[in-house]
Structure 1
Amino acid sequence: MTSKTDARDRAIDAAQRLFRIQGYTATGLTQILAESGAPKGSFYFHFPRGKAQLAEEAIDRYVASRIAVLQNISANTKGDAAKFVRQIYETFAGEMVATDFRYGCLMQNLANELPALDAELTARVARGFADSTEIIAAHFRGCGFSSARASATAAALVAALEGARTIARLERSSAIFKALAEFSCTRLEALGG
């Protein structure tokens, strides 16, 4: 028999996966419960505010995972902006290939849907982007970039990554990540980074 905590975690994981594949609106509670195997009777015990609370927790888990990945890449490429950028693109491309191009960015998917639906979830997604962008900016500052240049470069990189995911899903190819890595690294080297 599975524990209550396990049922809760499975519901969050299923919601996260489904939001990444099909978005928030297209994902119903019945589907989340069916895919997670979580008992329907315990759902509102764990998530008294329903789907919105489940989405909050899925966003938080996704953001924590994304930040951990970025921090790991940063630690492995300390002081090297081009290597850092290349590893980010390679990591995101690898995830796209591993999921057969089915998984988009949870934050991007929700950002496209939520502003008209839920202000709190929209704010949570915005914080997730801001927090992960700051990890990238901090790495660039550690490479000697000015604060302004680090922030601008990080914002551009995040925007490029989100666009690359969309294109990769449409084309079912990771080629866009390699093209953007080459472009970004060439640009960094030309600017002395």
Structure 2
Amino acid sequence: MPRKTDARARAIATAERLFRIQGYAATGLTQIIEQSGSPKGSFYFHFPRGKSQLAEETIDLYVANRAAAFRHISANTTGDAPSFFKRIFTVIAAEMIADNYQYGCLMQNLVNERSALDAELTERVARGFVDLTDIIAEHLRGCGFAPARASSSAVALLAAIEGGRTIARVERAPAVFEALADIFCRRWPAPERLR
């Protein structure tokens, strides 16, 4: 009976870390294989299309993890949009502080480099943003936002997170997230109730 290994999971985790720190082009397969400790043959068994397939699967897992985090925050801030906004920005800021501001957003990094070159990767990133936007919009509808307002607010929140992450990396400080939390909490404090 063949022995199970965690080579696939280690390759994905290593790729996520490297893609988020240094981008797609600067990350070589040799570096991923060496840092993940995966045998080369095992790597190509799990990812026969190589680096592009690895990037696609890394996006899928990244989106699933982000979605789970957003759902958890939503469950703990039911009916309370300001607390939801504040918690989202607090969590992102805490992640960046813990990682010493090294990590960008995987989806942003990959789409910035690959959107003109890899349609499948770009489609996966687009689906990821839609999935995350839907989770946020659903929470905001539960807070009483009208559907159109919930959708536009969700798009604005994701855009703010992406831009905030970039600024925080440059400044190596979480102040941008504190400012965004303040603006979102004041801008959307008491949504209209649905009739």
TM class, shorter-length: over 0.9
* 1:174 matches 2:167: no
Gaps (5+ residues) in structure 1?
Answer: none
Q: Residue type of the partner of 1:80?
A: D
* 1:97 matches 2:101: no
Cα pair 2:21 2:104 within 8 Å, conserved: yes
- How many positions carry a matched residue from both structures? 191
Q: Residue type of the partner of 1:91?
A: V
* 1:136 matches 2:136: yes
CA distance in 2, matches of 1:80, 1:190: 9
Gaps (5+ residues) in structure 2?
Answer: none
More helix by share: 1
Post-superposition offset of 1:4: 4.7
The alignment's C-alpha RMSD in Å is: 1.3
Post-superposition offset of 1:78: 0.2
Of all paired residues, the percent bearing the same amino acid is 65
SS of residue in 2 equivalent to 1:49: coil
Moved over 4 A (4+): 190-193
CA distance in 1, matches of 2:142, 2:191: 16
Q: Residue type of the partner of 1:69?
A: A
Distance 1:21 1:4, change over 3 A: farther
Cα pair 2:21 2:103 within 8 Å, conserved: yes
CA distance in 1, matches of 2:90, 2:8: 32
Post-superposition offset of 1:114: 1.1
Post-superposition offset of 1:111: 1.4
SS of residue in 1 equivalent to 2:102: coil
CA distance in 2, matches of 1:192, 1:9: 45
Q: So what's the TM-score if we normalise by structure 1?
A: 0.96
User: 1:106 maps to what in 2?
Assistant: 106
Q: Deviations over 1:43-90 (max 9, x none)?
A: 111111111111111001100000000000000000000000000000
